[in-house]
């Protein structure tokens, strides 16, 4: 006998970041989380955009490689098959099966072969971010998921991202999520309070 509010995990994370974290100063931003897959959320005029059937923001399933790797959604070539943390771990495990997590991979980032794989994976992230930037023209892109706490990734994204978008979109700011794994909890609490 208590009220219940239900929403998508990344929608909740975006609301949390909008009110209490990295999105506080922005009216229009998109939020992506990189992990098992890639989740997304869209904030327009400080409101969550949910889409016609409440499913907007499935950024992990934009097709970045036509006819590419098969995805669990049934399509081929989805962004998350190339740019999720899972995709990175699979690639590096082909080099060394003991690298079973992002944490393990970044302990060995000085290994040239590991670094090459990581750099190609960051290029895949940029492909998706560039497309989303050109579609939404956001003020900010908030990047979440544990892997986005690695300084190497954020530094490389900031160094290369702007070379891969049209100059007129250079106002967009890349930011790390500030609330970590609690962003969804903050957002869910905020939505429930509304």
Helix/strand/coil for 30? strand
Strand 47-49's sheet: what is its strand order?
47-49, 38-44, 29-34, 140-144, 173-176
Helix/strand/coil for 48? strand
Rounded Cα–Cα distance for residues 67 and 75 (Å): 8
Known catalytic residue: 96?
no
What phi-psi label fits residue 140: left (phi over 0), alpha (psi between -120 and 50 degrees) or beta? beta
Residue the block writes with tokens 């579609």: 135
Q: Single out the catalytic residue among 7, 9, 27, 123.
A: 9
Rounded Cα–Cα distance for residues 17 and 9 (Å): 12
Please give the positions annotated as active site.
9
């Amino acid at each position: 006998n208590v009220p219940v509010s239900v929403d998508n995990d990344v929608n909740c994370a975006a609301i949390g970041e909008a009110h209490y974290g990295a999105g506080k100063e922005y009216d229009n931003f998109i939020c992506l989380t990189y992990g098992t897959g890639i989740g997304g959320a869209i904030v327009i005029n400080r409101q969550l955009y949910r889409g016609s059937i409440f499913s907007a923001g499935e950024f992990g399933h934009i097709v970045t490689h036509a006819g590419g790797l098969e995805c669990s959604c049934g399509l081929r070539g989805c962004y998350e098959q190339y740019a999720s943390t899972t995709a990175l771990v699979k690639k590096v495990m082909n080099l060394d099966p003991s690298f079973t997590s992002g944490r393990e991979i970044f302990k060995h980032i000085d290994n040239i072969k590991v670094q090459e794989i990581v750099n190609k994976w960051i290029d895949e992230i940029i492909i998706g971010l560039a497309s989303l930037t050109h579609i939404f023209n956001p003020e900010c892109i908030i990047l979440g998921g544990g892997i986005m706490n690695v300084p190497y990734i954020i530094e490389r994204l900031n160094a290369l991202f702007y070379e891969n978008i049209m100059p007129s979109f250079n106002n967009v700011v890349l930011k790390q999520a500030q609330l970590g794994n609690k962003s969804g909890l903050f957002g869910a609490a905020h939505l429930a309070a509304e």
